[in-house]
Amino acid sequence: MAPNQKTSATALASAYEPIEQELVETTELLKSRLRHVDPTFDAYLEYSFKLGGKRLRPALALLCGKAAGRIDNRCRLVAAALEMIHTGSLVHDDILDGAKFRRQLRTINARWDSQRAVLIGDLLITRAFELVCECDDSHVFRTLASCCKRTVEGELYQTESVGNFSLTFDDYLKIVGGKTASLIECSTSLGAYLGGARGEELERFARFGRLLGIAFQIVDDSLDLIGDEQVVGKTLGTDLENKKETLPLILFFQNASEKERERMFRKIESGVKARDRAEVAAILKESGSIDAALDEANKLVDEALDVVGELREKARVEGRKNADAPFDSLESLARFVVKRDV
């Protein structure tokens, strides 16, 4: 493990301390539910489990459950289901991006083929819904179904926007609000709901997840340009190669001169290969576009931290026991999102 990866792992382990045991139980639940009676399917699902990384979404669900009041078995079920859905969406993303490795392992489409990868991703998502049905709560099921719908819509919006270099920030939010933020928002919202939050408090937890999810994707966009593949642990440069206009590019095209826009357009109109990524990234870095994108991520995290402060104050007023620890962790995770390099 590289030094940066160790630092990130340490930061996450510290943030996960208030739910350490619950996260272990959720991981064991996840592993047990990914087993299949068919040995071939079992091998696929076991391998997919290795592609999971930070366990951010189940951790957020558990932390928000504890912050709202309690963690029960339904919360563990939902947390495991969220990780299954996330992993399934990563399998599908790797197909769309043509990615060859993730978490230092070959992607499923690279190890087997795209046809199997599509079906394995589908299998993960359907297994997740089996788990959620055990909660026997229509609100949980509807929320997760809506989240999956928004995730697919976000990916479709992005697919339709490929090669369109006149996207606005609002267009970008429409894409990432679905494909990334919806699942993180679902994690914080369902965790809090199962912990007992309702009404305005529940909406605050959901807002925290929404802000965090958008910031997370902005940082991902930037890492795709300037990150180190050995540190990040996945194929980078796929956004440029697939002509996806992420926030650094949107900001560049909004602020560059006509000559600079034309020059950049010529560089990326046919798709930037991995070997040329550094050249384009250097132009975006020099223009200030990457720093401007990261500034937007920091603003979103600042808003998210304000929401946590409001939720913490409500918990204190109500005299909840041990209320500070999960809120401390939510704040730590928010800061981690914009400081990470993995």
Q: pLDDT tens across 193-250, in order?
A: 999 999 999 999 999 999 999 999 999 999 988 888 777 766 777 888 888 889 999 9
| pLDDT tens per residue across span 1-34 | 455 555 677 889 999 999 999 999 999 999 999 9
3-state helix, strand, coil in the chain (%, to 5): 80, 0, 20
**What per-residue confidence (pLDDT) applies to 11?**
85
By residue range, what is the domain housing residue 280?
3-339
Gyration radius of the chain's alpha carbons:
20
Contact 236, 295 (CB under 8 A): no
Q: Is the pLDDT reported for residue 136 higher than 70?
A: yes
Question: Which residues have CB under 8 Å from 166's CB, separation 6+?
Answer: 253
Lowest mean pLDDT, pick from 24-38, 67-81, 221-235, 284-298: 221-235
Dig out the tokens for 36 from the structure: 């299949």
Residue 288, domain CATH: 1.10.600.10
Cα–Cα distances (Å) from 4 to 39, 89, 231, 233, in that order, read 37, 26, 7, 11
Contact 62, 15 (CB under 8 A): no
Listed residue (196, 128, 186) closest to 154, CA to CA:
186
Dig out the tokens for 244 from the structure: 């996806």
**What per-residue confidence (pLDDT) applies to 166?**
87
**What per-residue confidence (pLDDT) applies to 243?**
84
Lowest mean pLDDT, pick from 109-118, 198-207, 333-342: 333-342
Please give the average per-residue pLDDT across 282-297, as a whole number: 95
Predicted TM-score (pTM) of the model is 0.93
- What share of the chain has pLDDT > 90, as a percent? 74
**In angstroms, rounded to a whole number, what is the distance separating the alpha carbons of residues 135 and 6?**
36
* Overall number of domains in the chain: 1
Please give the average per-residue pLDDT across 121-150, as a whole number: 96
